[in-house]
Structure 1
Amino acid sequence: MFLPCRSIARGVTSLATRLNGCSIHTTTATMAPVKVGDKIPAADLYEDSPANKVNISELTSGKKVVFFGVPGAFTPGCSKTHLPGYVQNADKMKSQGVSEIVCVSVNDPYVMSAWGIQHNTKGKVRMLADPNGVFIKALDLGTNLPPLGGFRSKRFSMVVNDSKVEELNVEPDGTGLSCSLADKLKLK
């Protein structure tokens, strides 16, 4: 006997399973993207190696920290424009009260370290790896880019003041180079 079932899942991801002729829907609520005023999610990122964890909550407590996310280390837009802009503007940002500037990517810590060395980021931009995308997923700023290996970070910039998001700029297409560039940040 077939009994029609109605899905109550709207705006969420559904996985339908057929059972006795009736579709049963299980749902997983989609997260809302991080927004201005939100507390930064607790997550561990990695600097230089898997042995060197950096807790984001501790890093941002009582400080003003600029984060920018990129789809991948060594990719053309990230290497030619995005990262160099933050390296070039680091002293100016720090003179405006920024304690740390952090580049985040869904890469391993060794790749992020090598990329940082290539761009002379030492003392200017911390290169933090989010190998499993835990931080990016908690922010709901991820995107699927199969040519780069699948799950990656959208391109964004964010000012976090004492663990709260003060400014957030997410590229409309997730990968472009406009609002998330260093010279677009409005430091208060």
Structure 2
Amino acid sequence: MNIAVGQSLPDVTVHIKRDGKVTETTLVEWAGDKSVILIAVPGAFTPTCSEKHLPGYIAHADALKAKGIDAIGCLSVNDVHVMAAWGKDSGADGKVDMIADVHGLAAHAMGIDVVTTPVLGKNRAARLALVAKSGLVTDIYKEEPSVFSVSSAEYMLERL
């Protein structure tokens, strides 16, 4: 089932590495009672994700927080160490939480798991951005395959 406005974020296990320590949490726990933006990307270190999607949210993190967003998360079907390395390499520390969907359970629960190109290998997450308040989705912007537009930080800034 595709996640939709009014639904809860899935209560599935994800991992975040901060200060060298791996934490197991759920998307529900991560969001808590905050207003959050969660972006999903097909893969760490991939071209569009690394050159456009994640950098936009890093660059506009303060502006998004000024519009009432308490936390920004970037979810990908990757292991926690790859996500942490990508976050460090991208300058995401302190701006965007790098969330590892190690087994693709979050992507599957949201209905955004997709089979991608042979280069990426396994199932990945479709590209999207959503806003959730206290764990309930209030806005969702899912991209068509191979498109990057409505999930961008700039588009999100216009909508908040």
- Please classify the TM superposition score into its range, dividing by the shorter chain length: over 0.9
Whole-Å separation in 1 of the counterparts to 2:125 and 2:74: 11
Mapping 1:1-188, distance limit 5 Å? 32-48=1-17, 51-145=22-116, 146-173=118-145, 175-185=146-156, 186-187=159-160
SS in 2 for 1:123: coil
Q: Which residue of 2 aligns with 1:19?
A: none
Segment drifting more, 85-94 vs 178-187:
178-187
Report the TM-score, using the length of structure 2 for normalisation. 0.92
- Cα pair 1:37 1:165 within 8 Å, conserved: yes
What amino acid sits opposite 2:113 in the alignment? G
Cα distance in 2 for partners of 1:158, 1:92 equals 16
Q: Which ranges in structure 1 are unaligned for 5 or more consecutive residues?
A: 1-31
SS at match of 1:147: coil
Structure 2: which amino acid aligns with 1:45?
V
* TM-score in terms of structure 1 length: 0.79
CA distance, structure 1, for counterparts of residue 21 and residue 147 of structure 2: 30
Moved more, 160-169 or 53-62: 53-62
Q: Aligned partners of 1:116 and 1:54: how far apart in 2?
A: 18
What is the root-mean-square deviation of aligned Cα atoms in Å? 1.3
Q: Secondary structure at the match of 1:111?
A: helix
Distance 2:89 2:21 in 1: 20
Q: Using the alignment, how far apart are the partners of 1:176 and 1:111 within structure 2? A: 24
Contact 2:22 2:80 in 1 (8 A): no
Q: Which has the higher contact order (CA 8 A, sep 6+)?
A: 2
Q: How many residues align?
A: 155
Distance 2:83 2:29 in 1: 21
| Cα deviation code 1:91-110 (max 9, x no counterpart) | 00111111110000000000
Q: Distance in 2 between matches of 1:140 and 1:50?
A: 29
Say which is worse superposed, 39-48 or 69-78, in terms of deviation.
39-48
| Alignment CA distance shift 1:50-1:141 (3 Å) | farther
Identity of aligned residues (%): 35
Which structure shows the bigger proportion of residues in helix conformation?
2
Displacement after TM superposition at 1:50 (Å)? 8.4
